[in-house]
Amino acid sequence: MTITKEWLIQLAKKHGVTDATKLESSQVTLQNFVFKLRENKYEVDEGFFIELADALGLQYIPRMDLKADLAAAIPYLILKENLFLPLSISEGRVRVATANPFNSDFFNVLKSLFGAEVEVCVASTEAVEEAIDKGYSGIHERRALKELRYRSPDESAFRVLYPWQRSVILGFIILFSVLFVLNYPLSFIVLFSLINIAYFCVNPVKFYIAFKGFRGSRRAVHVSSKDVESLQEKDLPVYTILVPVYREAKALRHVLKNMYSLDYPKEKF
C-alpha cells in the first residue's frame, strides 16, 4: 500500500481532526506530517497510530508496553523533537518506538551513529512523550534541585540567609538574652519599641505600593490578534518557570508536558 499525504489527512479526519486546513498546506509533507499534527495542536486518538502501523507493516506498541529505561541515553531535546524512544540497543540492531515512522533522515543518522540497523515500531505521540518524561524525571528532579544553586546562587532559594544576616540575627538574640537576664522589663520595652518603629517605617511603603497598584489597575493595554501575529520569536522575552518539584517528582513529567504544550518558543524557557 502506498502511503500519501492525502491518505494521512483522511486518516486524521477519521480519528478526531475536524478541520484539516493547516494540514493541507504545502509546508506539510509526508515526512513531517506527524510533527505538524503536534505543532498545530491537533488531537488524534490511538486508532490513528494503530492503523498507520498496520498500513506500514510495522509493530504497534501500546502505551503500557513502552519502556523508558534507555530514554536518558539520548539527549532530551532530540527525543522530543523527533518523537522517538530507544527501546533496545544491541550489536547490529537498534529498536526504537516513534510517533513518526516517516522520519527517514533521522533514522539514517541513528544508523550511522550506532553502526547498526534501526528497527522502527510505532506508538502514539502522547505515549512517546509520556515515556520520555518518565525516563528523564530523575534527571530533571536533580537539575531542578541543584543546578540553579550552582549556576546562579543569587536566584536560588537554597541559601535562606546571607552570612551577615545570620550574624546580625544571632547578635541580636545574644544581646537580647543578656539584657533579659540583667533587666527583663527593659528588654521587653526595647523589643516592642523596635517592633513599633519597624511597623511605622514599613507602613508608608505599603501604602505607596497599594496606591501605585490602584492607579495601575485603571490602565488597560489592548493587544489585537494582528499584534500577536506580527511578533517575531527573537523579540519575545525569556521566561524562567520555577517548578516546585522537591518531593513531587511524580508530578514533574505532567508539569513538563504542559510547559511544552504552551504556544511559546521552547528556547525562550
CATH number of the domain to which 50 belongs: 3.30.300.160
Domain membership of residue 191 as a residue range: 163-216
Tell me the residue type at 45. Answer: D
Is residue 46 within 8 A of residue 113, CB to CB? The reply is no
Are residue 96 and residue 27 in the same domain, yes or no? Answer: yes
DSSP-derived secondary structure for 56-74: HT--B--GGG---TTGGGS
Specify if 107 maps to a domain: yes
Are residue 190 and residue 96 in the same domain, yes or no? Answer: no
Are residue 119 and residue 16 in the same domain, yes or no? Answer: yes
Q: Is pLDDT of 229 > 90?
A: no
Average pLDDT over residues 133-140: 77
Confidence of residue 245 (pLDDT cuts 50, 70, 90): low
Is residue 257 within 8 A of residue 229, CB to CB? The reply is no
Specify if 82 maps to a domain: yes
Confidence of residue 119 (pLDDT cuts 50, 70, 90): very high
Are residue 55 and residue 179 in the same domain, yes or no? Answer: no
On whether the pTM is more than 0.75, the answer is no
Cα–Cα distances in angstroms (integers) from residue 81 to residues 128, 160, 165, 220, 237, in the given order: 11, 38, 46, 38, 22
pLDDT at 248: 65
pLDDT in tens, 65-94: 888 888 888 888 889 899 999 999 888 899
Are residue 54 and residue 125 in the same domain, yes or no? Answer: yes
Are residue 23 and residue 124 in the same domain, yes or no? Answer: yes
pLDDT at 167: 92
Specify if 231 maps to a domain: no
Specify if 13 maps to a domain: yes
Is residue 78 within 8 A of residue 26, CB to CB? The reply is no
Are residue 113 and residue 32 in the same domain, yes or no? Answer: yes
Specify if 28 maps to a domain: yes
Are residue 206 and residue 125 in the same domain, yes or no? Answer: no
Confidence of residue 155 (pLDDT cuts 50, 70, 90): low
Cα–Cα distances in angstroms (integers) from residue 36 to residues 4, 25, 31, 230, 263, in the given order: 15, 10, 10, 21, 14
Are residue 13 and residue 96 in the same domain, yes or no? Answer: yes
Q: Is pLDDT of 32 > 80?
A: yes
User: Among residues 137, 154, 182, which one ends one of the domains?
Assistant: 137
DSSP-derived secondary structure for 94-132: EEEEES-TT-HHHHHHHHHHHTSEEEEEE--HHHHHHHH
Specify if 268 maps to a domain: no
Are residue 133 and residue 16 in the same domain, yes or no? Answer: yes
Cα–Cα distances in angstroms (integers) from residue 42 to residues 27, 30, 146, in the given order: 16, 16, 36
The average confidence (pLDDT) of the chain is: 85
pLDDT at 236: 83
pLDDT at 241: 78
pLDDT in tens, 171-181: 999 999 998 99
In the block, which residue shows the cell 498500513?
55
Distance between CA atoms of residues 220 and 223, nearest Å: 10
Specify if 41 maps to a domain: yes
Distance between CA atoms of residues 225 and 247, nearest Å: 41
Are residue 10 and residue 131 in the same domain, yes or no? Answer: yes
What proportion of the chain, given as a percentage, has pLDDT over 70?
Answer: 88
Specify if 265 maps to a domain: no
The count of structural domains within the chain is 2
Question: Counting runs of H as helices and runs of E as strands, what totals does the chain give?
Answer: 11, 3
Query: Which three cell numbers, joined as nine digits, stand for 235?
Result: 523579540
Are residue 47 and residue 109 in the same domain, yes or no? Answer: yes
User: Among residues 88, 121, 137, which one ends one of the domains?
Assistant: 137
